Chains A and B, each alone.
Chain A
Amino acid sequence: DIQMTQSPSSLSASVGDRITITCRASQGINNWLAWYQQKPDKAPKSLIYAASSLQSGVPPRFSGSGFGTDFTLTISSLQPEDFATYYCQQYNTHPPTFGGGTRVEIQ
Protein backbone atom coordinates (compact mmCIF):
# COMPACT_ATOMS: atom_id res chain seq x y z
CA ASP A 1 0.00 0.00 0.00
CA ILE A 2 1.10 3.57 -0.64
CA GLN A 3 2.04 5.40 2.55
CA MET A 4 0.98 9.02 2.89
CA THR A 5 2.96 11.20 5.29
CA GLN A 6 1.67 14.59 6.38
CA SER A 7 3.62 17.32 8.06
CA PRO A 8 3.36 18.89 10.45
CA SER A 9 1.10 16.68 12.56
CA SER A 10 -0.19 19.82 14.24
CA LEU A 11 0.27 23.54 14.03
CA SER A 12 -0.88 26.63 15.89
CA ALA A 13 -1.85 29.71 13.92
CA SER A 14 -3.85 32.89 14.17
CA VAL A 15 -6.80 34.19 12.20
CA GLY A 16 -5.47 35.78 9.02
CA ASP A 17 -2.33 33.66 8.86
CA ARG A 18 -1.24 31.83 5.72
CA ILE A 19 -0.55 28.18 6.42
CA THR A 20 0.78 25.29 4.36
CA ILE A 21 0.41 21.58 5.02
CA THR A 22 2.60 19.07 3.22
CA CYS A 23 1.73 15.56 2.11
CA ARG A 24 4.27 13.10 0.72
CA ALA A 25 3.48 9.80 -0.98
CA SER A 26 5.77 6.78 -0.70
CA GLN A 27 5.64 6.41 -4.50
CA GLY A 28 4.40 8.49 -7.38
CA ILE A 29 0.67 9.06 -7.55
CA ASN A 30 0.47 11.48 -10.51
CA ASN A 31 -2.04 14.10 -9.39
CA TRP A 32 -4.54 11.71 -7.77
CA LEU A 33 -4.51 13.45 -4.43
CA ALA A 34 -7.41 14.74 -2.35
CA TRP A 35 -7.69 16.93 0.72
CA TYR A 36 -10.40 16.77 3.38
CA GLN A 37 -11.29 18.87 6.40
CA GLN A 38 -12.70 17.25 9.52
CA LYS A 39 -14.11 18.90 12.62
CA PRO A 40 -14.64 17.04 15.89
CA ASP A 41 -17.44 14.45 15.74
CA LYS A 42 -18.24 15.35 12.13
CA ALA A 43 -17.79 13.61 8.82
CA PRO A 44 -14.89 14.71 6.64
CA LYS A 45 -15.66 17.48 4.20
CA SER A 46 -14.10 17.30 0.76
CA LEU A 47 -11.97 20.29 -0.20
CA ILE A 48 -9.72 19.50 -3.17
CA TYR A 49 -9.37 16.68 -5.68
CA ALA A 50 -6.88 15.93 -8.42
CA ALA A 51 -4.30 17.82 -6.34
CA SER A 52 -5.52 21.29 -7.24
CA SER A 53 -9.21 21.23 -8.20
CA LEU A 54 -11.37 23.05 -5.69
CA GLN A 55 -14.57 21.23 -4.83
CA SER A 56 -17.75 23.20 -5.42
CA GLY A 57 -18.59 25.54 -2.55
CA VAL A 58 -15.12 25.53 -1.02
CA PRO A 59 -13.77 29.07 -0.45
CA PRO A 60 -10.93 30.17 -2.77
CA ARG A 61 -8.61 30.77 0.20
CA PHE A 62 -7.99 27.02 -0.02
CA SER A 63 -5.60 25.84 -2.71
CA GLY A 64 -3.67 22.69 -3.51
CA SER A 65 -0.63 21.91 -5.59
CA GLY A 66 1.82 19.17 -6.39
CA PHE A 67 2.46 16.18 -8.61
CA GLY A 68 4.14 12.84 -8.22
CA THR A 69 5.07 12.44 -4.56
CA ASP A 70 4.95 15.91 -3.01
CA PHE A 71 1.82 17.94 -2.42
CA THR A 72 0.69 20.96 -0.44
CA LEU A 73 -2.52 22.41 0.90
CA THR A 74 -2.45 26.16 1.50
CA ILE A 75 -4.96 28.33 3.32
CA SER A 76 -4.19 31.90 2.32
CA SER A 77 -5.90 33.66 5.21
CA LEU A 78 -7.02 31.44 8.07
CA GLN A 79 -10.58 31.99 9.23
CA PRO A 80 -12.13 30.90 12.56
CA GLU A 81 -14.08 28.11 10.85
CA ASP A 82 -10.87 26.64 9.39
CA PHE A 83 -9.60 25.32 12.70
CA ALA A 84 -9.91 21.58 12.15
CA THR A 85 -7.93 18.50 11.17
CA TYR A 86 -6.89 18.09 7.54
CA TYR A 87 -6.23 14.80 5.76
CA CYS A 88 -4.66 14.04 2.42
CA GLN A 89 -5.59 10.90 0.49
CA GLN A 90 -4.16 9.21 -2.59
CA TYR A 91 -6.37 7.46 -5.08
CA ASN A 92 -3.90 6.59 -7.78
CA THR A 93 -3.38 3.05 -6.56
CA HIS A 94 -5.74 0.66 -4.84
CA PRO A 95 -6.36 0.70 -1.90
CA PRO A 96 -6.85 4.41 -1.36
CA THR A 97 -4.84 5.56 1.64
CA PHE A 98 -4.91 8.60 3.90
CA GLY A 99 -2.30 10.65 5.63
CA GLY A 100 -2.22 10.77 9.42
CA GLY A 101 -3.79 14.21 9.58
CA THR A 102 -2.71 17.73 10.48
CA ARG A 103 -4.48 19.42 13.34
CA VAL A 104 -4.75 23.20 12.93
CA GLU A 105 -5.24 24.90 16.28
CA ILE A 106 -5.84 28.47 17.36
CA GLN A 107 -2.70 30.17 18.63
Chain B
Amino acid sequence: EVQLVQSGGGLIQPGGSLRLSCAASGFSVSHNYMSWVRQAPGKGLQWVSVIYSGGTTHYADSVKGRFTISRDISKNMFFLQMNGLRAEDSAVYFCARDYPSSPGFFDPWGQGTLVTVSS
Protein backbone atom coordinates (compact mmCIF):
# COMPACT_ATOMS: atom_id res chain seq x y z
CA GLU B 1 0.00 0.00 0.00
CA VAL B 2 1.23 3.44 -0.95
CA GLN B 3 1.30 5.44 2.26
CA LEU B 4 2.89 8.43 4.01
CA VAL B 5 3.20 8.65 7.79
CA GLN B 6 4.24 11.91 9.42
CA SER B 7 5.94 12.73 12.70
CA GLY B 8 7.24 15.84 14.38
CA GLY B 9 5.46 19.10 14.98
CA GLY B 10 4.28 20.69 18.19
CA LEU B 11 4.42 24.00 20.03
CA ILE B 12 7.45 26.19 19.40
CA GLN B 13 8.36 29.75 20.28
CA PRO B 14 8.79 32.40 17.60
CA GLY B 15 12.26 32.24 16.14
CA GLY B 16 12.59 28.57 17.00
CA SER B 17 13.26 25.54 14.84
CA LEU B 18 11.38 22.33 14.18
CA ARG B 19 11.82 19.35 11.86
CA LEU B 20 8.95 17.47 10.33
CA SER B 21 9.40 13.93 9.04
CA CYS B 22 7.49 11.90 6.50
CA ALA B 23 8.04 8.16 6.08
CA ALA B 24 7.01 6.59 2.80
CA SER B 25 5.96 3.02 2.15
CA GLY B 26 4.96 1.26 -1.02
CA PHE B 27 7.16 3.47 -3.21
CA SER B 28 10.57 5.09 -3.21
CA VAL B 29 11.03 8.77 -2.34
CA SER B 30 14.13 8.80 -4.52
CA HIS B 31 12.06 8.13 -7.66
CA ASN B 32 9.29 10.61 -6.95
CA TYR B 33 8.70 14.30 -6.41
CA MET B 34 7.80 14.86 -2.75
CA SER B 35 6.04 17.95 -1.42
CA TRP B 36 4.88 19.72 1.71
CA VAL B 37 1.56 21.56 1.87
CA ARG B 38 0.22 23.49 4.85
CA GLN B 39 -3.15 24.66 6.11
CA ALA B 40 -3.49 27.44 8.65
CA PRO B 41 -6.34 26.99 11.14
CA GLY B 42 -9.67 27.45 9.39
CA LYS B 43 -7.96 28.36 6.12
CA GLY B 44 -7.23 26.82 2.76
CA LEU B 45 -4.28 24.84 1.45
CA GLN B 46 -0.91 26.38 0.61
CA TRP B 47 1.95 24.60 -1.14
CA VAL B 48 5.24 24.97 0.77
CA SER B 49 8.06 23.04 -0.86
CA VAL B 50 9.03 20.24 -3.25
CA ILE B 51 12.06 18.03 -3.76
CA TYR B 52 12.39 16.49 -7.18
CA SER B 53 13.68 12.99 -7.82
CA GLY B 54 16.97 14.48 -8.99
CA GLY B 55 17.32 16.43 -5.75
CA THR B 56 16.36 19.91 -6.97
CA THR B 57 14.30 21.83 -4.43
CA HIS B 58 11.80 24.69 -4.63
CA TYR B 59 10.07 26.77 -1.97
CA ALA B 60 7.16 29.12 -1.56
CA ASP B 61 8.35 32.73 -1.29
CA SER B 62 6.94 32.92 2.24
CA VAL B 63 9.35 30.25 3.54
CA LYS B 64 12.34 30.67 1.24
CA GLY B 65 15.57 31.02 3.22
CA ARG B 66 13.99 29.67 6.40
CA PHE B 67 12.74 26.18 5.46
CA THR B 68 14.76 23.34 3.96
CA ILE B 69 13.37 20.19 2.37
CA SER B 70 15.57 17.10 2.30
CA ARG B 71 15.37 13.34 2.07
CA ASP B 72 17.08 10.20 3.38
CA ILE B 73 16.90 7.61 0.64
CA SER B 74 18.21 4.84 2.90
CA LYS B 75 15.28 5.36 5.26
CA ASN B 76 12.80 6.22 2.50
CA MET B 77 11.90 9.40 4.33
CA PHE B 78 11.84 13.10 3.63
CA PHE B 79 11.88 16.09 5.92
CA LEU B 80 11.06 19.75 6.36
CA GLN B 81 13.50 21.67 8.51
CA MET B 82 11.83 24.86 9.67
CA ASN B 83 13.98 27.64 11.11
CA GLY B 84 13.12 31.18 12.14
CA LEU B 85 9.52 30.19 12.76
CA ARG B 86 6.90 32.91 12.84
CA ALA B 87 3.33 33.02 14.12
CA GLU B 88 2.09 32.95 10.53
CA ASP B 89 3.79 29.56 10.04
CA SER B 90 1.30 28.01 12.45
CA ALA B 91 -0.59 25.39 10.49
CA VAL B 92 -1.21 21.73 9.91
CA TYR B 93 1.57 20.52 7.63
CA PHE B 94 0.90 17.69 5.20
CA CYS B 95 3.47 15.73 3.26
CA ALA B 96 2.44 14.43 -0.14
CA ARG B 97 3.75 12.62 -3.17
CA ASP B 98 3.44 14.15 -6.60
CA TYR B 99 1.48 11.55 -8.57
CA PRO B 100 4.00 9.98 -10.96
CA SER B 101 1.86 10.20 -14.09
CA SER B 102 0.74 13.74 -13.30
CA PRO B 103 3.39 15.59 -11.22
CA GLY B 104 1.90 18.46 -9.29
CA PHE B 105 -1.16 16.39 -8.43
CA PHE B 106 -0.76 15.26 -4.85
CA ASP B 107 -1.48 11.65 -3.99
CA PRO B 108 -1.22 10.23 -1.42
CA TRP B 109 -1.13 12.64 1.52
CA GLY B 110 0.24 12.16 5.00
CA GLN B 111 -2.10 12.43 7.95
CA GLY B 112 -0.90 15.92 8.84
CA THR B 113 0.94 17.33 11.82
CA LEU B 114 0.16 20.53 13.73
CA VAL B 115 2.79 23.21 14.17
CA THR B 116 1.93 26.02 16.57
CA VAL B 117 4.27 28.99 16.82
CA SER B 118 3.51 30.96 19.95
CA SER B 119 5.20 32.39 23.01
CB pair B45 A89 closer than 8 Å: yes
A32 to B103, CA, bound (A): 10
Residues of B within 8 A of A44 (CB): 45, 94, 106, 109
| Complex interface residues of chain A between 51 and 76 (CB less than 8 A to chain B) | 53, 55
A16 adjacent to chain B (CB < 8 Å): no
CB pair B104 A91 closer than 8 Å: yes
A65 to B60, CA, bound (A): 28
**What's the minimum C-beta distance from A10 to chain B, rounded to whole angstroms?**
13
Provide the B44-79 mask, 1 if CB < 8 A to any CB of A, else 0: 111100000000001010000000000000000000
Q: Tell me how many residues of B have a C-beta within 8 Å of chain A.
A: 19
B111 adjacent to chain A (CB < 8 Å): yes
| Complex interface residues of chain B between 82 and 119 (CB less than 8 A to chain A) | 94, 99, 102-112
A53 to B99, CA, bound (A): 12
CB pair B111 A101 closer than 8 Å: no
A93 closest partner in B (C-beta)? B104
Q: Which A residues contact B (CB, under 8 angstroms)?
A: 32, 34, 36, 42-46, 49-50, 53, 55, 87, 89, 91-92, 94-101
